[in-house]
Structure 1
Amino acid sequence: MSFICLNKIHKTYGKPPNAFEALRGIDLEIREGEFVALMGPSGSGKSTLANILGCLDSPTSGIYEFCGVNVSNLNLKQKALLRRHYIGFIFQGFNLLPRTTALENVELPLLYRQVPKKERIKLSMQALEMVGLEKWYNHQSNALSGGQQQRVAIARAIASKPLFLLADEPTGNLDTKRSVEIMEILARLNQESKITILMVTHEPEMAQYATREIVFLDGLIQRDSANTALCRKQA
Structure 2
Amino acid sequence: MKQKNAVKLIEFRNVVKIYGQGQTAMTALDSIELTVQQGEFVAMMGPSGSGKSTCLNILGCIDTPTMGSYVFEDVAVEELSRDQRAMLRRSFIGFIFQGFNLLNRTSALENVELPLIYRRVPLKQRHAMAMEALAAVGLEKWSHHTPGELSGGQQQRVAIARAIVGHPRILLADEPTGNLDSQRSMEIMRMLQKFNREGITIVMVTHEPEMAAYADRQIHFQDGRIVADTVNEVIV
TM interval, short-chain normalised? over 0.9
Structure 2 partner of 1:34: 40
**Matches of 1:18 and 1:118, distance apart in 2:** 52
Structure 2 stretches of 5 or more lacking a match? 1-6
- Aligned identity (percent) is 60
**Matches of 2:156 and 2:165, distance apart in 1:** 14
Structure 2 partner of 1:142: 148
**Matches of 1:41 and 1:141, distance apart in 2:** 31
Q: Does 2:224 align with 1:223?
A: no
Q: Does 2:57 align with 1:51?
A: yes
Instruction: Measure how far apart 1:38 and its partner are.
Output: 0.5
Counterpart residue type for residue 8 of structure 1: N
**Matches of 2:50 and 2:124, distance apart in 1:** 45
User: Residues 177-216 of structure 1 correspond to what in structure 2 (within 5 A)?
Assistant: 177-191=183-197, 193-216=198-221
Q: Does 2:136 align with 1:122?
A: no
C-alpha offsets along residues 162-206 of structure 1, whole Å, 9 cap, x if unaligned? 110000000111111111111110011001x21000000000000
Instruction: Measure how far apart 1:229 and its partner are.
Output: 2.3
Instruction: Measure how far apart 1:119 and its partner are.
Output: 1.2
Any runs of at least 4 consecutive aligned residues in structure 1 with deviations exceeding 4 A, and if so which? Answer: none
Counterpart residue type for residue 191 of structure 2: I
**Matches of 2:56 and 2:39, distance apart in 1:** 17
Query: CA RMSD of the aligned region, Å?
Result: 0.9
TM-score normalised to structure 1 length: 0.96
C-alpha offsets along residues 57-103 of structure 1, whole Å, 9 cap, x if unaligned? 11110000000000010111111111111100000111111121111
> Which of 98, 101, 104 in structure 1 is aligned with 2:104?
98
TM-score normalised to structure 2 length: 0.96
Structure 1 partner of 2:70: 64
Instruction: Measure how far apart 1:111 and its partner are.
Output: 1.1
Structure 2 partner of 1:112: 118
- SS of equivalent to 2:70: strand
C-alpha offsets along residues 130-182 of structure 1, whole Å, 9 cap, x if unaligned? 11111111111211000000000000000010110000000111111111111
- SS of equivalent to 2:135: helix
Structure 1 partner of 2:82: 76
- SS of equivalent to 1:107: helix
Q: Does 2:94 align with 1:88?
A: yes
**Matches of 2:34 and 2:217, distance apart in 1:** 13
